[in-house]
Copies of this chain bind each other. A is one copy, B any other.
Amino acid sequence: MFSQTLFAKQQNRSGVFMRVKGFSAAAVEAGIRYENRLDLGLIYSDRPAVTAGVFTTNRVQAAPVLLDKKRLQKGQAQAILVNSGNANACTGEEGMEFARLTADMAARELAIEPELVQVASTGVIGEPLKRAPFERAMPGLVGALSRDGFEDLARAMMTTDTRPKLVHRTIALDGVLGSILGVAKGAGMIMPNMATMLCFVLTDARIVFPVLRDIVAKGVEESFNRITVDGDTSTNDTVLVMANGAAGNDWLEEDNPGAVATFRETMEEVFSELATMIVADGEGATRLVTIRVEGAREREAALDAARTIANSPLVKTAFFGQDPNWGRIMAALGRSGCFFHPDRVSISFDDVMMVKNGLGLGPEAERNAARVMRQKEFTVYVQLNDGVECGEILTCDLSDEYIAINADYRS
Contact = CB atoms under 8 A, between A and B. Distances in A.
B408 A58 contact: no
A126 interface: yes
Contacts of A360: 90, 126-127
A90 B342 contact: yes
Interface stretch (A176-184, A265-273, A292-300, A328-336): A328-336
Interface string A330-374: 111111000110110000000000010111100000000000000
Specify how many copies of this chain sit in the oligomer. Answer: 2
Interface residues of A, number: 62
A180 to B, nearest CB: 30
B403 A399 contact: yes
A328 B125 CA distance: 8
Interface in A189-231: 191-193, 230-231
A323 B404 CA distance: 12
Interface string A227-238: 000111111000
Given A230-B313, A400-B400, A126 B326 contact: yes
Interface stretch (A110-118, A136-144, A314-322): A314-322
Top 3 closest pairs, chain A to chain B, by CB: A125-B327, A321-B407, A192-B331
Given A192-B328, A193-B327, A400-B404, 9 more contacts: A59-B339, A60-B333, A192-B330, A192-B332, A193-B314, A231-B312, A313-B398, A318-B406, A321-B407
